[in-house]
Amino acid sequence: MQFFDLGLQELPFFADLQPAEVEVFIKNTGAVVKRYSKGSRVLKAYEPNAQIGILAEGEALVLAEDRFGNESVSHELMRGSIFGGTSAILPRFTNHTSVEALTDVLVLWVPYRSLLVSGPKLGKIHGIVMKNLLEVFCLKGVYMMQKIELLSQKTLRERLILYLLQRGKRQGEAHVRVPGRVQLAKELECNRSALTREVNQMKAEGLLECGAGWMRLLKKDVE
């Protein structure tokens, strides 16, 4: 597989780099691309990990897992998302999250140790990548705070409205792309049937419009 076929220079991790510079980075860090099938675990909780994963193609889901095997949905990963950084950078802390492929996915794995020591070989490329990595980590902190805000809402309607507002802002679209009802219910931490009732009620009240894989808030006063 040719790396340039994946358009890696379009990903946030490689922002401001040319395709040839991305190739140089991959060669000098020993990064590799691996394919995972839908439903498989890309990263497993409680297992050591020394690499930073970058989702080059497909969609995945981050699951928080406790010692008893109970799982809860943390957040969704799209093309360009980065994961595994915490366990790679801070191996002394137990990794409590797994990553599950929602579709067939391609992941670029970058060895963290190689990323640290490759500076002299990469020159300005290394500085650009490290800047991009810091920005991505900061964004993850923002998304985590948004998740806390979302789950602090008192009613399911408030959660759904805030979810659509947050997601719509990220996507830059009025028609917000959303996952299926099962996954959406997990992200909102509610019962699927309760979510369906609330969606139908909001549609009846003229607050919400739905289609295949999307939702749109109809009244500005809900914002």
Give the pLDDT mean for 102-117. Answer: 96
* DSSP state letter for 79: T
Stretch(es) of the chain classified as CATH 2.60.120.10: 3-148
> Rounded mean pLDDT of the chain?
90
Pairing of strands 97-101, 41-43: antiparallel
**Six token digits for residue 16:** 């401001």
Interval 41-74: pLDDT, tens: 999 999 999 999 999 999 999 988 777 767 777 7
Stretch(es) of the chain classified as CATH 1.10.10.10: 154-222
Q: Is the pLDDT of residue 107 over 80?
A: yes
Class level of CATH domain 3-148 = mainly beta
Question: How many Å apart are CA 53 and CA 191, to the nearest integer?
Answer: 32
Please determine, looking at this structure, whether the domain spanning 154-222 carries the CATH number 1.10.10.10: yes
Is-contact 206 218, C-beta < 8 A? yes
* DSSP state letter for 48: -
